[in-house]
Structure formats: structure tokens, C-alpha cells
Chain A
């Protein structure tokens, strides 16, 4: 069966019903392994046990940016190929992305309290993640405002792509504006500066977060397809009643 067959929403639904349980189980197992490893990981020599917040914080930060990338790809699918499944993918990803960004902000500020002595500082990275959160909320608000799903998807796709152009600019300008946060320590040129004993659980947690996102995204896409079918059925019913 060629991959393009899954573009058909009905085929996609059967695929989801087959894959989703496995994904959910895989996510649970990955979380179990990752959390156990995180608990067993040594404390940081400076930060003590609070370094464990990192295992929740850092993967959500990666996902908060990764999900915008997923939405941008879906936006291309919407605008270039007019693909209904791309509409659904973009719409389903936005609230999940906002949730992961919020988790990143909350865990970050809980980590900041013992480390920096305050819940919030207007430092470069915190600020740009905060702006990312606002942009997610903007996209979600746009979906709320539009009444017709396909038009909403196309307009949100335009906003998503403009956001994708704007995000690096925001990141750069906020870095320029103020920097107080530690520089990137995992994804950077050369070897990671983080110790392997801390890095291994972190990567496991990243895998768990990714699986969680994949499962939530597929489930949300399925719900959105069903919601649209309900909407169409209701419209048809109303049309019949009127005529």
C-alpha cells in the first residue's frame, strides 16, 4: 500500500486505531525507564537534587520548538497541496505545543526559584519561550475565531509560517537584548558539556516526551477528523430539515 493512501482520512483513522495503542504503551514504558534513570542519576555537585527538574524541563523545551516545526510542515501541506489531513495535523498540534511550552515555563520557574532565588527573570531564553507561548495562543485564538474549518486552517497556516520566519528573529533579538541564562550545553558544536551520567536519562526522557507527543497528536487528529464528520452530518441534517 503506497504511503499516499494514508492521506485518505478513513484510511488514516484505521491506521491510527492500529498504531495508537502501541504508541501509548511505548510512551508509558519510555517514561517508566526515563523516570527511573532520572531518579537514579547522580545529583549535580552545585545544584543538588534540583537538577532533576531538568529531566522534565529540557525535553519540553525541545518539544515546544519542535511542535512549531511540525505545525510549519503541516502549514506547507495546507497551503501548497490543500491537504485536509494537513489542516487537521496543524490544528491538533497547536494546543499540545502550547501545553508543552507551558510545562517548560512552569518547570523552568520552579527550577529558577532555588537556583536564581526568583521564579522569573527576564532573561533571554525565558523571554523567547514566553513569546513562543504567546504565539501558540495567538494561533489557537485564530482557530477559535474562524467558523469554517478549512478557511481557519489556511489562515492559521499563514500565521504559522510567518511565525516560523519570526521566531529566529525573536530569538536573536532577545539574546541580544539580555543574556543571563547559561549557554546551550547539549545541542552545540563539539561534544556535549553535560556529563554522560546526566545525559543518558535526559535523552531517554526526550524519547518518552516525543512518544507522548506522537500519541497525543495522533489521538487529537483522530478526534478532530471525527469532530468534522459530526459537523458535516449536523449541517446536512439542518439542510434536510430546512428543505
Chain B
């Protein structure tokens, strides 16, 4: 357990201190959300209606942006080989890495989202709900991304492939995330069912993704 915790803190420190992957994702999120009013016009009524969708799309793209660093950096400098040789299971190590990636990349997005919701004229009362849906749903994005990251590392030159592989799998997360956020703003559909399904998607992907990613890396590097 302490080895996993050490791995978690190592990845977190690396993301925050070296290379600034965490800050870049948050900045990207900011820019994507700022671009939307230029594309659809400054109509505040329209923006408040599509606000949750924009925030969710922005979070989806921002979490995708830094995925190629999740395993590829370790594969380049050889620490992935060391990780595979340690007695701890590769699945657990990858899960710890994904959690660290979530903390460094997605948690800032969750914290930023109320501020950006303000820019999009979303009601005050809905902001905590949007942040809550992002907090519940982004782990699923990270874990699904973990599979894509592992496949692209195993392919050795799959960097550009990553987005193509990962995005179709994130559709259910996007659907239920936006549905839960919209339920608070527009009603009358209840918030509970889509939100609990969103949590279920996160939990299920947290179980399946490390196994699939570890299998991909083992098959790729042998």
C-alpha cells in the first residue's frame, strides 16, 4: 500500500512541478470555454442553456489533452520497466497513476468549473451541481483514457491514435454528465438517476480499465 501511495505522490509531484501538465489542462479548459461564445455568439440566454454541455465538452477535451503523458513519459525514461518488475501488481500501479492524473488534471477543472459557469451565465444554484457531476464523472474519463494511453504506449507510435480510440468510449459519460447537470437547471427530470449512473460508470471503469491497460502494456512490451 505504501508503495502505491509513494507512486501516487511521485506522479502528482511530477505533474505539478515538472512540465506543468496540470496547469496546461486547466488553461486549455479555460480557452475552450472562452472560444464557445465566439462561435455561437454572445447571446446570454443561449449560453446559459448550453452552459453545462460546454463545460462538460471542455472537461472531456482537457482531460484528453494530457493523457499521452500518463504512461508515455514513464515508458520513455524506463521507469515503466521498473514498475513492471516491482512485486506490486501492474494493475494497481496503473490505477494509482490514473488517480494521480485525475487529481492533477481533472480536480482543477472541477474547481474551476463554477467560475466558468459564471461566464456562461449559468444560475448560481446550479454551479455546485455542475461541479458535483464533473467530480463524479471525470474519473471515468481518466480511467477510459488510461486504456487508450496504455494501448498507444504498447503500439510505440500510437500518440495520434489515442483520441480516436478513447473518444467513442466516453459518450455514455458525456450523456449522463450533461443530463444530470441539465436536470438541475432546466428540470423537470430528477437529478438522481443520471447522477447515480454517472457514479456507476466511474466505478465500473475504475475496475475494468486498469486490467485492460495492464494487459495492453504486458502484451505490447513482451
Residue ranges of A at the interface with B (Cβ–Cβ < 8 Å): 79, 131, 134-135, 137-138, 141-142, 145-146, 151-152, 154-155, 158-159, 161-163, 165-166, 169-170, 172-174, 176-177
Contact = CB atoms under 8 A, between A and B. Distances in A.
B155 A142 contact: yes
Interface SS, A side: helix
B164 to A, nearest CB: 5
21 contacts: A79-B215, A131-B168, A134-B168, A141-B164, A145-B158, A146-B155, A154-B219, A155-B155, A158-B216, A158-B219, A159-B165, A163-B169, A166-B169, A169-B172, A169-B201, A170-B172, A172-B172, A174-B175, A176-B176, A176-B179, A177-B175
Given A155-B220, A177-B175, 15 more contacts: A79-B215, A131-B168, A135-B169, A138-B164, A142-B155, A142-B161, A145-B157, A151-B220, A155-B216, A158-B215, A162-B147, A166-B169, A170-B168, A173-B171, A176-B179
B208 A158 contact: no
The size class of the interface chain B forms with chain A is 20 to 34
Interface string B154-167: 11011001001101
B132 interface: no
A59 B61 CA distance: 36
B151 interface: yes
A74 to B, nearest CB: 15
B157 A131 contact: no
Nearest to A132: B168
Contacts of A79: 215, 219
- Residue from B161, B172, B215 whose CB has the most chain A CB atoms within 10 Å: B172
A159 B213 CA distance: 10
A165 B209 CA distance: 11
A170 B151 CA distance: 21
B212 interface: yes
A151 B212 CA distance: 15
Contacts of B208: 162, 165
B168 A162 contact: no
Contacts of B157: 145
A142 B151 contact: yes
Contacts of A177: 175, 179
A156 to B, nearest CB: 9
A135 B165 CA distance: 7
B176 A161 contact: no
List 7 tightest A-B contacts by C-beta distance, closest first.
Answer: A173-B172, A154-B219, A134-B168, A173-B175, A177-B175, A138-B165, A169-B172
Contacts of A154: 219-220
A155 B168 contact: no
Contact of A145 (B161, B169, B201, B212): B161
Nearest to B154: A155
B175 A135 contact: no
A102 B82 CA distance: 45
Contacts of A152: 155
A108 to B, nearest CB: 19
- Residue from B151, B197, B201 whose CB has the most chain A CB atoms within 10 Å: B151
A134 B168 CA distance: 7
Contacts of A134: 167-168
Contacts of B172: 166, 169-170, 172-173
Contact of A142 (B165, B169, B215): B165
